[in-house]
Amino acid sequence: MRHIAKWLLACLLLPAIVQGQGRISGLAFGDFYYIISHYNAELKNQNGFWIRRIYFTYDQDLDDAFALRLRLEMNSPGNFSAGNAVPFVKDAYLKWKLNAQHELYLGISSSALFNLVESVWGYRSVEKAPADLQKLGSSREFGVALKGKLTRDGVVRYHAVFGNGEGTKSEGYRGKKVGLALQLFPTDAVVLEAYADYARAQAGETRTTWHGFGAYRTEAFRVGLEYEAQHVKVEEGADRDLRYVSGFAVVRTGEKVNLFGRVDRLLDPNPKGASIAYIPFAPTSKATLWIVGLDLAMSVRVHLIPNIEVVTYDADELNPDVYLRWTFYVTF
Protein backbone atom coordinates (compact mmCIF):
# COMPACT_ATOMS: atom_id res chain seq x y z
CA MET A 1 0.00 0.00 0.00
CA ARG A 2 2.89 2.36 0.79
CA HIS A 3 4.37 1.86 -2.71
CA ILE A 4 0.97 2.42 -4.33
CA ALA A 5 0.55 5.69 -2.42
CA LYS A 6 4.01 6.88 -3.56
CA TRP A 7 3.17 6.01 -7.17
CA LEU A 8 -0.11 7.89 -7.02
CA LEU A 9 1.55 10.93 -5.49
CA ALA A 10 4.17 10.86 -8.24
CA CYS A 11 1.42 10.73 -10.86
CA LEU A 12 -0.13 13.80 -9.29
CA LEU A 13 3.07 15.80 -8.89
CA LEU A 14 5.11 15.07 -12.02
CA PRO A 15 2.80 16.73 -14.58
CA ALA A 16 2.70 19.91 -12.50
CA ILE A 17 6.46 19.97 -11.91
CA VAL A 18 7.59 19.04 -15.42
CA GLN A 19 5.09 21.05 -17.44
CA GLY A 20 4.56 23.88 -15.02
CA GLN A 21 0.82 23.47 -15.47
CA GLY A 22 -2.05 22.48 -13.26
CA ARG A 23 -2.99 23.37 -9.71
CA ILE A 24 -2.16 21.52 -6.50
CA SER A 25 -4.38 22.08 -3.46
CA GLY A 26 -5.59 20.27 -0.40
CA LEU A 27 -6.99 20.36 3.09
CA ALA A 28 -6.71 18.59 6.40
CA PHE A 29 -8.87 18.45 9.51
CA GLY A 30 -9.02 16.44 12.70
CA ASP A 31 -9.60 16.70 16.42
CA PHE A 32 -8.58 16.11 19.95
CA TYR A 33 -11.70 14.39 21.29
CA TYR A 34 -12.99 13.25 24.67
CA ILE A 35 -16.08 11.08 25.14
CA ILE A 36 -17.85 11.96 28.39
CA SER A 37 -20.71 9.49 27.99
CA HIS A 38 -21.77 6.85 25.46
CA TYR A 39 -24.44 4.22 24.86
CA ASN A 40 -21.51 1.82 24.35
CA ALA A 41 -19.92 1.75 27.80
CA GLU A 42 -16.57 0.67 26.32
CA LEU A 43 -16.20 4.10 24.65
CA LYS A 44 -16.82 6.16 27.78
CA ASN A 45 -13.74 8.28 28.67
CA GLN A 46 -12.11 7.40 25.34
CA ASN A 47 -9.95 10.29 24.15
CA GLY A 48 -7.18 11.00 21.68
CA PHE A 49 -5.97 12.77 18.57
CA TRP A 50 -6.95 11.80 15.05
CA ILE A 51 -6.98 13.18 11.53
CA ARG A 52 -10.40 12.67 10.03
CA ARG A 53 -9.53 13.79 6.51
CA ILE A 54 -6.62 14.82 4.29
CA TYR A 55 -7.15 15.83 0.65
CA PHE A 56 -4.37 16.12 -1.91
CA THR A 57 -5.77 17.41 -5.21
CA TYR A 58 -4.34 18.00 -8.67
CA ASP A 59 -6.40 19.93 -11.25
CA GLN A 60 -5.40 20.65 -14.82
CA ASP A 61 -7.14 22.34 -17.73
CA LEU A 62 -6.31 20.32 -20.85
CA ASP A 63 -7.78 22.88 -23.25
CA ASP A 64 -10.82 25.16 -23.46
CA ALA A 65 -13.23 22.19 -23.36
CA PHE A 66 -11.56 19.52 -21.21
CA ALA A 67 -10.15 19.42 -17.67
CA LEU A 68 -9.17 16.65 -15.26
CA ARG A 69 -9.01 16.18 -11.51
CA LEU A 70 -7.12 13.58 -9.47
CA ARG A 71 -7.60 13.57 -5.69
CA LEU A 72 -6.31 11.35 -2.91
CA GLU A 73 -8.01 11.10 0.47
CA MET A 74 -6.54 9.78 3.72
CA ASN A 75 -8.31 9.19 7.04
CA SER A 76 -7.49 7.81 10.47
CA PRO A 77 -9.55 4.74 11.43
CA GLY A 78 -12.97 5.88 12.62
CA ASN A 79 -13.65 2.87 14.88
CA PHE A 80 -11.48 4.11 17.79
CA SER A 81 -8.69 1.66 16.98
CA ALA A 82 -5.02 2.43 16.31
CA GLY A 83 -3.97 2.62 12.68
CA ASN A 84 -2.38 4.70 9.96
CA ALA A 85 -4.15 7.04 7.57
CA VAL A 86 -4.49 4.99 4.37
CA PRO A 87 -4.76 6.82 1.01
CA PHE A 88 -7.32 6.01 -1.67
CA VAL A 89 -8.57 7.66 -4.85
CA LYS A 90 -11.41 10.06 -4.02
CA ASP A 91 -11.82 11.86 -7.34
CA ALA A 92 -10.66 10.85 -10.80
CA TYR A 93 -12.64 12.42 -13.59
CA LEU A 94 -12.50 14.07 -16.98
CA LYS A 95 -14.70 17.16 -17.24
CA TRP A 96 -16.05 18.14 -20.65
CA LYS A 97 -17.46 21.64 -20.99
CA LEU A 98 -20.20 21.03 -23.54
CA ASN A 99 -21.11 24.72 -23.77
CA ALA A 100 -21.52 27.74 -21.52
CA GLN A 101 -24.30 26.04 -19.52
CA HIS A 102 -23.58 22.30 -19.34
CA GLU A 103 -20.68 20.08 -18.18
CA LEU A 104 -20.21 16.31 -18.48
CA TYR A 105 -18.14 14.35 -15.93
CA LEU A 106 -16.72 10.89 -16.63
CA GLY A 107 -15.15 8.85 -13.81
CA ILE A 108 -15.35 9.32 -10.03
CA SER A 109 -17.03 12.65 -9.25
CA SER A 110 -19.17 14.17 -6.52
CA SER A 111 -22.62 12.74 -5.85
CA ALA A 112 -25.75 14.82 -6.26
CA LEU A 113 -27.13 13.41 -2.98
CA PHE A 114 -25.82 16.03 -0.57
CA ASN A 115 -23.33 18.14 -2.52
CA LEU A 116 -25.38 21.34 -2.19
CA VAL A 117 -26.49 20.64 1.40
CA GLU A 118 -22.89 20.15 2.53
CA SER A 119 -21.66 23.31 0.81
CA VAL A 120 -24.35 25.48 2.45
CA TRP A 121 -23.87 23.83 5.87
CA GLY A 122 -20.18 24.70 5.46
CA TYR A 123 -18.78 22.70 8.39
CA ARG A 124 -17.81 19.32 6.99
CA SER A 125 -14.74 19.69 9.22
CA VAL A 126 -17.08 19.38 12.21
CA GLU A 127 -19.61 16.87 10.91
CA LYS A 128 -20.82 15.29 7.68
CA ALA A 129 -24.06 16.26 5.99
CA PRO A 130 -26.89 14.13 7.45
CA ALA A 131 -27.29 11.82 4.43
CA ASP A 132 -23.55 11.12 4.43
CA LEU A 133 -23.46 10.66 8.20
CA GLN A 134 -26.37 8.21 8.27
CA LYS A 135 -25.05 6.24 5.25
CA LEU A 136 -27.94 6.94 2.89
CA GLY A 137 -25.40 7.11 0.08
CA SER A 138 -21.84 7.94 -0.86
CA SER A 139 -20.28 11.36 -1.42
CA ARG A 140 -18.97 10.08 -4.78
CA GLU A 141 -20.41 8.34 -7.82
CA PHE A 142 -18.41 6.17 -10.23
CA GLY A 143 -19.96 6.71 -13.65
CA VAL A 144 -21.28 9.67 -15.65
CA ALA A 145 -22.62 12.97 -14.33
CA LEU A 146 -24.16 15.99 -16.03
CA LYS A 147 -24.33 19.39 -14.33
CA GLY A 148 -25.47 22.76 -15.50
CA LYS A 149 -28.03 25.53 -15.81
CA LEU A 150 -31.51 25.04 -17.19
CA THR A 151 -31.99 28.80 -17.57
CA ARG A 152 -29.48 31.28 -18.94
CA ASP A 153 -29.50 33.32 -15.74
CA GLY A 154 -28.67 30.26 -13.61
CA VAL A 155 -31.84 30.48 -11.51
CA VAL A 156 -32.67 26.83 -12.28
CA ARG A 157 -29.83 24.28 -12.17
CA TYR A 158 -29.46 20.52 -12.13
CA HIS A 159 -27.07 17.70 -11.27
CA ALA A 160 -27.79 14.25 -12.76
CA VAL A 161 -25.79 11.05 -12.20
CA PHE A 162 -25.72 7.52 -13.61
CA GLY A 163 -23.26 5.12 -12.02
CA ASN A 164 -22.41 2.02 -10.05
CA GLY A 165 -23.99 3.18 -6.81
CA GLU A 166 -20.92 1.98 -4.89
CA GLY A 167 -19.09 5.25 -4.25
CA THR A 168 -15.41 5.22 -5.21
CA LYS A 169 -15.35 1.43 -5.61
CA SER A 170 -15.40 -0.39 -8.92
CA GLU A 171 -18.60 -2.27 -9.69
CA GLY A 172 -19.23 -5.41 -7.64
CA TYR A 173 -22.76 -6.04 -8.88
CA ARG A 174 -24.52 -5.33 -12.17
CA GLY A 175 -27.04 -2.97 -10.60
CA LYS A 176 -26.90 0.78 -11.24
CA LYS A 177 -27.93 4.06 -9.66
CA VAL A 178 -29.66 7.05 -11.23
CA GLY A 179 -30.11 10.33 -9.39
CA LEU A 180 -31.27 13.87 -10.12
CA ALA A 181 -31.09 17.10 -8.13
CA LEU A 182 -33.08 20.14 -9.28
CA GLN A 183 -31.96 23.42 -7.72
CA LEU A 184 -33.60 26.82 -7.61
CA PHE A 185 -31.76 30.08 -6.84
CA PRO A 186 -34.54 32.72 -6.99
CA THR A 187 -32.36 35.33 -5.23
CA ASP A 188 -28.74 35.60 -4.10
CA ALA A 189 -29.82 34.60 -0.59
CA VAL A 190 -32.35 31.80 -1.19
CA VAL A 191 -31.56 28.28 -2.39
CA LEU A 192 -34.02 25.37 -2.82
CA GLU A 193 -33.37 21.78 -3.88
CA ALA A 194 -35.43 18.68 -4.66
CA TYR A 195 -33.56 15.39 -5.05
CA ALA A 196 -34.42 11.77 -5.83
CA ASP A 197 -32.48 8.64 -6.74
CA TYR A 198 -33.06 4.93 -7.38
CA ALA A 199 -30.37 2.31 -6.87
CA ARG A 200 -30.03 -1.44 -7.20
CA ALA A 201 -26.71 -1.72 -5.41
CA GLN A 202 -26.82 -5.44 -4.60
CA ALA A 203 -28.80 -8.53 -5.50
CA GLY A 204 -32.26 -8.64 -3.97
CA GLU A 205 -32.25 -5.03 -2.71
CA THR A 206 -33.30 -1.67 -4.14
CA ARG A 207 -33.10 1.79 -2.55
CA THR A 208 -35.22 4.86 -3.23
CA THR A 209 -34.05 8.13 -1.67
CA TRP A 210 -35.46 11.64 -1.85
CA HIS A 211 -35.17 14.95 -0.04
CA GLY A 212 -36.28 18.55 0.02
CA PHE A 213 -33.84 21.25 1.15
CA GLY A 214 -34.12 25.00 1.59
CA ALA A 215 -31.71 27.62 2.90
CA TYR A 216 -31.28 31.34 3.37
CA ARG A 217 -27.71 32.65 3.35
CA THR A 218 -25.91 35.98 3.62
CA GLU A 219 -22.34 36.85 4.57
CA ALA A 220 -23.34 37.26 8.22
CA PHE A 221 -25.99 34.54 8.63
CA ARG A 222 -27.24 31.33 7.09
CA VAL A 223 -29.93 28.84 8.03
CA GLY A 224 -31.08 25.62 6.39
CA LEU A 225 -33.73 22.93 6.77
CA GLU A 226 -33.92 19.48 5.17
CA TYR A 227 -36.21 16.47 5.18
CA GLU A 228 -34.94 13.21 3.70
CA ALA A 229 -36.28 9.67 3.44
CA GLN A 230 -34.95 6.38 2.12
CA HIS A 231 -36.96 3.22 1.46
CA VAL A 232 -35.07 -0.06 1.12
CA LYS A 233 -37.00 -2.90 -0.52
CA VAL A 234 -35.64 -6.42 -0.10
CA GLU A 235 -36.75 -9.66 -1.72
CA GLU A 236 -36.23 -11.67 1.46
CA GLY A 237 -37.00 -10.09 4.81
CA ALA A 238 -38.72 -6.90 5.87
CA ASP A 239 -38.44 -3.62 3.98
CA ARG A 240 -37.03 -0.73 5.99
CA ASP A 241 -37.25 3.05 6.05
CA LEU A 242 -34.91 5.72 7.33
CA ARG A 243 -36.20 9.29 7.70
CA TYR A 244 -34.78 12.39 9.31
CA VAL A 245 -35.25 16.14 9.66
CA SER A 246 -32.20 18.38 9.96
CA GLY A 247 -31.81 22.10 10.60
CA PHE A 248 -28.78 24.33 11.10
CA ALA A 249 -27.86 27.97 11.66
CA VAL A 250 -24.55 29.83 11.40
CA VAL A 251 -24.13 33.38 12.73
CA ARG A 252 -21.11 35.66 12.40
CA THR A 253 -20.51 37.04 15.89
CA GLY A 254 -17.22 38.78 15.15
CA GLU A 255 -14.84 39.59 12.33
CA LYS A 256 -13.18 36.17 12.69
CA VAL A 257 -15.72 34.27 14.79
CA ASN A 258 -18.78 32.25 13.78
CA LEU A 259 -21.26 30.55 16.10
CA PHE A 260 -23.04 27.51 14.66
CA GLY A 261 -25.58 24.92 15.70
CA ARG A 262 -27.33 21.96 14.12
CA VAL A 263 -30.04 19.46 15.09
CA ASP A 264 -30.68 16.16 13.26
CA ARG A 265 -33.78 14.23 14.29
CA LEU A 266 -33.79 10.56 13.27
CA LEU A 267 -37.39 9.46 12.85
CA ASP A 268 -36.38 5.78 12.53
CA PRO A 269 -33.55 3.75 14.09
CA ASN A 270 -30.59 3.36 11.74
CA PRO A 271 -29.54 -0.32 11.50
CA LYS A 272 -26.13 0.88 10.21
CA GLY A 273 -25.70 3.28 13.13
CA ALA A 274 -23.03 1.34 15.02
CA SER A 275 -20.72 1.44 11.98
CA ILE A 276 -20.80 5.24 11.54
CA ALA A 277 -17.19 6.43 11.68
CA TYR A 278 -16.08 8.70 14.55
CA ILE A 279 -19.59 9.00 16.03
CA PRO A 280 -21.41 5.62 16.16
CA PHE A 281 -25.16 5.65 16.88
CA ALA A 282 -27.15 3.01 18.72
CA PRO A 283 -28.86 1.00 15.92
CA THR A 284 -31.98 0.16 17.96
CA SER A 285 -33.46 3.57 18.80
CA LYS A 286 -34.66 6.81 17.30
CA ALA A 287 -32.19 9.57 18.12
CA THR A 288 -31.44 13.29 18.03
CA LEU A 289 -28.01 14.74 17.23
CA TRP A 290 -27.17 18.15 18.71
CA ILE A 291 -24.12 20.13 17.52
CA VAL A 292 -22.88 23.47 18.90
CA GLY A 293 -19.53 25.10 18.21
CA LEU A 294 -17.37 28.17 17.60
CA ASP A 295 -15.32 28.76 14.46
CA LEU A 296 -12.21 30.80 15.27
CA ALA A 297 -10.44 31.94 12.10
CA MET A 298 -6.76 32.15 13.04
CA SER A 299 -6.05 33.08 9.40
CA VAL A 300 -7.76 32.69 6.04
CA ARG A 301 -6.50 29.08 5.81
CA VAL A 302 -6.35 28.01 9.46
CA HIS A 303 -9.39 27.53 11.71
CA LEU A 304 -9.73 26.23 15.26
CA ILE A 305 -13.24 24.98 16.00
CA PRO A 306 -14.15 23.87 19.55
CA ASN A 307 -17.47 22.02 19.43
CA ILE A 308 -19.77 19.65 21.30
CA GLU A 309 -21.77 16.80 19.77
CA VAL A 310 -24.51 15.11 21.79
CA VAL A 311 -26.70 12.19 20.70
CA THR A 312 -29.82 11.55 22.78
CA TYR A 313 -31.97 8.44 22.38
CA ASP A 314 -35.68 7.79 22.72
CA ALA A 315 -34.93 4.49 24.46
CA ASP A 316 -34.59 5.20 28.19
CA GLU A 317 -32.04 2.45 28.76
CA LEU A 318 -29.48 4.09 26.45
CA ASN A 319 -27.10 6.69 27.85
CA PRO A 320 -26.56 9.80 25.71
CA ASP A 321 -23.38 10.11 23.65
CA VAL A 322 -21.41 13.24 24.56
CA TYR A 323 -18.31 14.21 22.55
CA LEU A 324 -16.06 17.18 23.34
CA ARG A 325 -13.93 18.08 20.32
CA TRP A 326 -11.26 20.64 19.57
CA THR A 327 -11.20 20.58 15.78
CA PHE A 328 -8.60 22.06 13.47
CA TYR A 329 -9.10 22.84 9.78
CA VAL A 330 -6.34 23.81 7.33
CA THR A 331 -6.40 24.43 3.58
CA PHE A 332 -3.47 24.86 1.21
**DSSP letters along 113-171, please?**
SSHHHHHHH--TTT---HHHHTTSS-SEEEEEEEEEESSTTSSEEEEEEEE-SSTTSPP
* pLDDT tens for the chain, residues 1 to 332: 444 544 555 555 555 544 657 999 999 999 999 999 999 999 999 999 999 999 999 999 999 999 999 999 999 999 998 888 889 999 999 999 999 999 999 999 999 999 999 999 999 999 999 999 999 999 999 999 999 999 999 999 999 999 988 777 776 666 789 999 999 999 999 999 999 999 987 778 899 999 999 999 999 999 999 999 999 999 888 899 999 999 999 999 999 999 999 999 999 999 999 999 999 999 999 999 999 999 999 999 999 999 999 999 999 999 999 999 999 999 99
Residue 92 lies in a domain: yes
Question: Does the residue 223 lie in any domain?
Answer: yes
Round to whole Å and give the CA distance between 211 and 244: 10
Q: For strand 205-217 and strand 221-234, is the pairing parallel, antiparallel, or unpaired?
A: antiparallel
Instruction: Answer whether residue 287 is part of any domain.
Output: yes
Q: How far apart are CA 278 and CA 293, in angstroms?
A: 17
What residues make up the domain containing 302?
A: 26-331
In a domain, 14, yes or no: no
- Residue-level pLDDT at 271: 96
Question: What pLDDT does residue 82 have?
Answer: 82
Q: Give the chain's domain count.
A: 1
Q: State the Cα–Cα distance between residues 16 and 11, nearest whole angstrom.
A: 9
Distance CA 202, CA 183 (A): 29
**CATH number, domain with residue 222:** 2.40.160.10
- Phi, psi dihedral angles at 120 (to 5 degrees): -75, -40
Domain presence at residue 10: no
Residues 6+ apart with CB under 8 A from 20: none
In a domain, 324, yes or no: yes
* Residue 2, pLDDT score: 46
Whether 6 maps to a domain, the answer reads no
pTM attached to this predicted model:
0.91
Q: Is residue 15 part of a domain?
A: no
